[in-house]
Structure 1
Amino acid sequence: MYLATTAIEEFWDKSQKIIFLGEWCKLYNRKKNWMTLAYKDIPFVWESADIKLNGIKYCDKVYEKALIQLTQILNTYNHINKDVHYYRIILGNWLICFIHQLYDKYLTLKSAFENYPDAQTWLLDEAKYYIPVDFNDFAQHFRDDKYALQLYSNILVAMGYDFKKKKLSKPIAQLLSYRLNFDLSPKRRLFDLMTRVLRSKSTIFHKRTITITDPYFSCYLPEYYLKLLFKSRFKFIFDDMKYKINLKFNIDQTMRKQELSLNGDEFESVLSKTLFSNIPILFVEGFAPFRDSVMRLPIHKSDAFFTANALHYDCIYKFYLAEHYKTITFLNQQHGGGYGIDFICIPEEYEKSIADRFYTAGWVKEAKTIPLAIQKFAQKRYSNCITSDMILFCISEMPRYVYKLDINTISSAYLSEHLSSIMTFLKHFLLRNKLLIRSSPHDNHYNWDTNERIAECFDDCFFDDFRKPFDQMLRKARIFITSNAHTTYLEALASNKPTVMFLPEKSYRFHPDAQPYFDRLQEVNILHKSPVTAAQHINAIYDDVDAWWQSNNVQEARAAFVEQYARSSPDWVNEWVKEFNRVVAKC
């Protein structure tokens, strides 16, 4: 029998009976090819929330051990003496994701060979391995079948398997340069010029300043920035960190053979043997030149730095923050739907491990979590006098391969838990001709082909073409529906748009503090655990939505939830100014 680990068919031995490692192997648009094969499927290893929770806790322990050893090795390699927190800022989010992805693949392979000990497979030749350049490059390739094949091959070799090795006909071309060149629109260039002029004014007239980067505004509008500038009397500095850096480097093959010395169990051994063949170039060969480049940039050293998104994807920001974190106050704001709500939210925990003050959309857990009105939710309330009969249904795919472990739906469970509930909803929904289905813009990268699957079963559905942004479509809708607990439902509830959610109980586990608020939403039919009851409810209230939505019970439940998890305010600018002035005054 042959074990197929990815959807790359040139790495399937079709002369044997195929064992598919997971649903990610079977692309919907290639079903004519694999449905005719004699095959079996390996059961999904993350079958319950408890199993996923235990996996997350285990990976967190491994992460802390690996980070300590990485600190020692990279300090020696780069001839510097930085502490663990320094590297937590620079590469912590990559290390978390890498460990989660590796652990998922390790457990899946282990399960496969426990069930089929005599199975054979083909490995990717090491000569065709790809090393990501930075975290962004890594985040682009984790969903790629070719990079997944590389990780599966990595793991099997580390586990001692000696299978036949092959080369890809079209391997990933290795990048040996790093270029940050931002092609800005004329309006954006003009605005950047203006902010640079105002930045110089701020540094001249104020000894205490705060730098704001990527603040998670609902859209790019200069008016938001200008309001904050004027209200703060130019004490705030806006720096998007879009500086030009061009580097070239060579792979240090000796360093790439380095191993960690984790020895707790077999997975720690696998991680020790595979980490340095996958760690991004910017953290090894490119570290010294990139660090030097960042330190020469004209970044003003404010007393405090604030962001919502830069901590994950902005390498310039991360390196600068790591260099100065001991002498500045770092402020971070939540930027997604799971913060404070999910039983465990990995990005939230990572950001809180670095931030001095962590701003939330209303909720409080520990001392550093501070509620602050979020501009993204501070939109004008939508009119109740909606003449459109359109129902906006937002769906969202999950990556085929695990990006990071999550207590909610991940990977193959998307089909069995999430998509199946969407199909059940549509089957019982009597108003499909009024439905506009809007997926996430990046969903086509995951190759689940959700829209095509829906269209094959229901020919009376319409799909959004993304010509208009989400907030415009939400404004036009009579009712908003979602099958996930991502950011869109927070925006809908905050703007008082009639909203119906259906979240299968098996797919979601909320934080104990959040559960009572979701229970109230369920009591008033905003939240449903069954797609059938959600469909039946909308069928019943569609002709007179306001009779339901404007009732006291519904509005009280909505308002209580929004105050805790999607807090907004028309006076958000003054709230920010007062809070940041307090922070800067204490610096």
Structure 2
Amino acid sequence: MRRLILSTIPDNFNPQTDIIIGPWSLIGKENLYPEWEIFKFEPDLFETNDEISINVKITVDFAEYYMVRLSNYLNEINKTNYSIEFWRLLILPWLLTLVQTTWDRQLRVNKLLEKYSSEEIEIELVKDNIIWNFKNTLDHQQNGLLKPLYNHWLYSRLIESKISCKWKINWIEEATDVTFLGLEKKLWRKKISEWFSIKFLSSTVYGINRYQAIFFEFLLHLKLTTSDNIVKETWTKKHDSVQLDWNLDWDNLVKATLPQCFKNITLKTIKRHTRNTFFLVGPVLWYDEKIKLKLAREIEKGSKIIVTQHGGSYGTTKVYPFSAEIEYKQYRFFSWGWGQQENYLGNIIPLPSPLLSRNKYKKKNSKIIFVSFRSMLYSYRIHSIPQPIQQLQHRKLKIEFFNTIKSEVKENFYYRPPINEMGSLPDKEYFKEKFPYIKILMGKLHEETMKCKLLIIDHPDTTLNIALAANIPTICFWDSNSWAFSKQSEPYFQRLRDVGILFNNGAAAARKVNEICNNVDGWWQQPSVQKARKDWVDIYARSDKNWFWIWAKTIWELK
């Protein structure tokens, strides 16, 4: 009888007969099976970008539909009477994550059932007696979605009512009361910083210092307007009929995994503002529960939120639902230069980035720095990013790169691994062991890149925006089939390919590095290379030494 393994592989794992649901089952066990990457895994869920888009749409629609029901439940348990808009700002990042990840796991389960239901299979399922005590949205992500226990428990709930009569179930019992995050002891400096962030929300914008934040708070306080010309989410009848055919009791799942921070909301008297009040914020609508609660109450009063871009992927990624739902639909969204991303609606204003405007590149050493992407195997969203099997393929592209660079390049070669490897492969140890010549670069990344000879990037995220905006000589590579770009940004990426900045595989990128390593500046300063860079930067990484006054004028003139 074959075994179907839903969690980390057991000690008696047999790669010839056991069925592995995905490569994440090998996390922490890679050293036991040096050739594990050639094991036969179940394929990735989505074959095309259209499939990703379809599943994103139905999960977003369901989350919006369920928001009404969940708002009523939260008002009931908290003894409050807040609006849907209040709860949407507070809880949508967690709810949409729960919907998408559960749908992702269910699609995998259903494919397994379809494929193996006629076979005799042995499977271990976790009993449904675990009490999850997630503290907040981030806790649910880090200690739930990115950990084996939660995923095994969730797979068990999704499969138990659909299981084939030919399958043998072995029920296992885990800890029944699971608490991860306790009270954190904070240094006085951190306490002061958090107090300042809550008091002066503009200070949460990336690139804005405290003096600038105080100025913007004063400017926003002075601003008066009665306009309400923005894109708003409305709970119309289109949401009333949205349902997903779940394998489990959805309401029970929500109650079982609902973070504690949403169960302790106190009712405060809300008096609507007699004039519009504005708040300028950075990336706080995702995980900062204290600031989210403050802003949710301000929304009840009629306040308006201006959200700002804080990193890469904005504008460039084809399927990008979280930012589109959480940030773009606020009163305004300040981008780093772009105005449209696919067909997402939004109140988007292209502006220079404070963060990018303060960076200055000046070569001071001969370091060639490789900045690596996180090899994420546990998915926690559905969007345009490499799926688990594609992550293994991406790792092979990096191996190609390291195998192709010549010895002269290796002398000054530094590898920057991902700092956070939760739910991911431990690339730091893997590549250091496989390529002993690699020197590991830790510490403050961008301080190092601003003085290096050449930067290598294997993913289109924030480091790419920072590098091209600062005019750091840069070579990139990734598989274009794994990273889908918006229809607006694809032509700009193609120009980077045309001039030899961007490549589709590691070997080609390494050959380019070998070619230019003795005259990096000569290559980088070519007019065609600089034009492609400037064209990309003007739309997706705009900077300006006068950004402060541009922002002040823009805020003052908002209607």
Same fold, TM exceeding 0.5? yes
Deviation at 1:413, TM superposition (A): 2.3
Deviation at 1:410, TM superposition (A): 2.8
1:396 aligned residue (363, 369, 373): 373
2:396 aligned residue (405, 411, 420): 420
Instruction: Supply the AA of the counterpart residue of 2:45.
Output: V
Q: Distance in 2 between matches of 1:556 and 1:27?
A: 43
Residue in 1 that maps onto 2:187:
183
- Confirm whether residue 369 of structure 1 aligns to residue 348 of structure 2: yes
| Structure 1 gaps, min length 5 | 200-209, 219-223, 238-260
Q: Distance in 1 between matches of 2:132 and 2:147?
A: 11
Residue in 2 that maps onto 1:379:
358
Q: Distance in 2 between matches of 1:3 and 1:422?
A: 31
8 Å Cα contact 1:2-1:13 kept in structure 2: no
Deviation at 1:217, TM superposition (A): 2.8
Deviation at 1:446, TM superposition (A): 3.0
Residue in 2 that maps onto 1:256:
none
How far does the alpha carbon of each residue in 1:517-574 deviate from its partner, in whole angstroms, 9 at most, with x for none?
1111111111112322211111111111122111111111111111111111122222
Instruction: Supply the AA of the counterpart residue of 1:402.
Output: S
Residue in 2 that maps onto 1:438:
416
Query: Cα gap change, 1:371/1:178 in structure 2, threshold over 3 Å: closer, same or farther?
Result: same
Residue in 1 that maps onto 2:228:
none
Q: Distance in 2 between matches of 1:530 and 1:321?
A: 44
Q: How does 1:157-196 map to 2 (within 5 A)?
A: 157-159=160-162, 163-168=169-174, 173-174=178-179, 179=183, 182-185=186-189
The two structures have a TM-score, normalised by structure 1, of 0.81
1:226 aligned residue (205, 211, 214): 211
8 Å Cα contact 1:502-1:527 kept in structure 2: yes
**DSSP-derived class of the 1:543 partner:** coil
Deviation at 1:335, TM superposition (A): 1.6
Residue in 2 that maps onto 1:360:
335
2:156 aligned residue (134, 153, 156): 153
8 Å Cα contact 2:459-2:478 kept in structure 1: yes
Residue in 1 that maps onto 2:388:
411
Deviation at 1:215, TM superposition (A): 1.2
8 Å Cα contact 2:125-2:169 kept in structure 1: yes
Deviation at 1:511, TM superposition (A): 0.5
1:457 aligned residue (434, 440, 447): 434
Residue in 2 that maps onto 1:251:
none
Q: How does 1:275-290 map to 2 (within 5 A)?
A: 275-283=254-262, 286=263, 289-290=264-265
Deviation at 1:85, TM superposition (A): 2.3
How far does the alpha carbon of each residue in 1:88-133 deviate from its partner, in whole angstroms, 9 at most, with x for none?
1111011111111111111111112222213221121222342422
Residue in 2 that maps onto 1:255:
none
8 Å Cα contact 1:520-1:557 kept in structure 2: yes
Residue in 1 that maps onto 2:235:
none
Q: How does 1:226-265 map to 2 (within 5 A)?
A: 226-229=211-214, 234-235=218-219, 264-265=243-244
1:318 aligned residue (259, 284, 292): 292
Q: How does 1:433-512 map to 2 (within 5 A)?
A: 433-443=411-421, 445-464=422-441, 466-467=442-443, 469-512=444-487
1:347 aligned residue (301, 309, 322): 322
Query: Cα gap change, 1:295/1:414 in structure 2, threshold over 3 Å: closer, same or farther?
Result: farther
Deviation at 1:29, TM superposition (A): 4.1
Residue in 1 that maps onto 2:496:
521
- Confirm whether residue 103 of structure 1 aligns to residue 103 of structure 2: yes
1:429 aligned residue (386, 405, 414): 405
Q: Distance in 1 between matches of 2:202 and 2:365?
A: 39
Query: Cα gap change, 1:427/1:59 in structure 2, threshold over 3 Å: closer, same or farther?
Result: same
Query: Cα gap change, 1:180/1:582 in structure 2, threshold over 3 Å: closer, same or farther?
Result: farther
**DSSP-derived class of the 1:152 partner:** helix
Residue in 2 that maps onto 1:5:
6
**DSSP-derived class of the 1:126 partner:** coil
Query: Cα gap change, 1:391/1:14 in structure 2, threshold over 3 Å: closer, same or farther?
Result: closer
8 Å Cα contact 1:158-1:273 kept in structure 2: no
- Confirm whether residue 566 of structure 1 aligns to residue 541 of structure 2: yes
Instruction: Supply the AA of the counterpart residue of 1:184.
Output: W
Residue in 2 that maps onto 1:115:
115
Q: Distance in 2 between matches of 1:15 and 1:434?
A: 40
Q: Distance in 1 between matches of 2:356 and 2:135?
A: 35
Query: Cα gap change, 1:518/1:68 in structure 2, threshold over 3 Å: closer, same or farther?
Result: same
Q: Distance in 1 between matches of 2:255 and 2:496?
A: 47
**DSSP-derived class of the 2:552 partner:** helix
**DSSP-derived class of the 1:370 partner:** strand
Q: Distance in 2 between matches of 1:531 and 1:211?
A: 42
The alignment covers a number of residue pairs equal to: 522
Q: Distance in 2 between matches of 1:307 and 1:51?
A: 34
Instruction: Supply the AA of the counterpart residue of 2:113.
Output: F
Instruction: Supply the AA of the counterpart residue of 2:487.
Output: P
How far does the alpha carbon of each residue in 1:194-232 deviate from its partner, in whole angstroms, 9 at most, with x for none?
999xx7xxxxxxxxxx842521238xxxxx211443x55
Query: Cα gap change, 1:102/1:262 in structure 2, threshold over 3 Å: closer, same or farther?
Result: farther
Query: Cα gap change, 1:412/1:83 in structure 2, threshold over 3 Å: closer, same or farther?
Result: farther
Residue in 1 that maps onto 2:94:
94
Q: Distance in 2 between matches of 1:42 and 1:367?
A: 37
**DSSP-derived class of the 2:152 partner:** helix
8 Å Cα contact 1:155-1:270 kept in structure 2: no
Deviation at 1:470, TM superposition (A): 1.2
Query: Cα gap change, 1:515/1:100 in structure 2, threshold over 3 Å: closer, same or farther?
Result: same
Q: Distance in 1 between matches of 2:113 and 2:420?
A: 34
- Confirm whether residue 540 of structure 1 aligns to residue 543 of structure 2: no
Residue in 2 that maps onto 1:134:
136
Identity of aligned residues (%): 21
Q: Distance in 2 between matches of 1:353 and 1:78?
A: 29
Q: Distance in 2 between matches of 1:190 and 1:76?
A: 35
Q: Distance in 2 between matches of 1:458 and 1:194?
A: 45
Query: Cα gap change, 1:129/1:262 in structure 2, threshold over 3 Å: closer, same or farther?
Result: farther
8 Å Cα contact 2:201-2:279 kept in structure 1: yes
Q: Distance in 1 between matches of 2:490 and 2:277?
A: 38
Instruction: Provide the alpha-carbon RMSD of the alignment.
Output: 3.2
8 Å Cα contact 2:207-2:358 kept in structure 1: no
Query: Cα gap change, 1:432/1:55 in structure 2, threshold over 3 Å: closer, same or farther?
Result: farther
How far does the alpha carbon of each residue in 1:277-322 deviate from its partner, in whole angstroms, 9 at most, with x for none?
2222332xx2xx3335x889xxxx9921121211011112222222
8 Å Cα contact 1:394-1:438 kept in structure 2: yes
Q: Distance in 1 between matches of 2:211 and 2:244?
A: 55
Instruction: Supply the AA of the counterpart residue of 1:441.
Output: I
The two structures have a TM-score, normalised by structure 2, of 0.84
Residue in 1 that maps onto 2:61:
61
Residue in 1 that maps onto 2:225:
none
8 Å Cα contact 2:133-2:177 kept in structure 1: no
Instruction: Supply the AA of the counterpart residue of 2:7.
Output: T
8 Å Cα contact 2:62-2:242 kept in structure 1: no
Instruction: Supply the AA of the counterpart residue of 2:18.
Output: I
8 Å Cα contact 2:477-2:503 kept in structure 1: yes
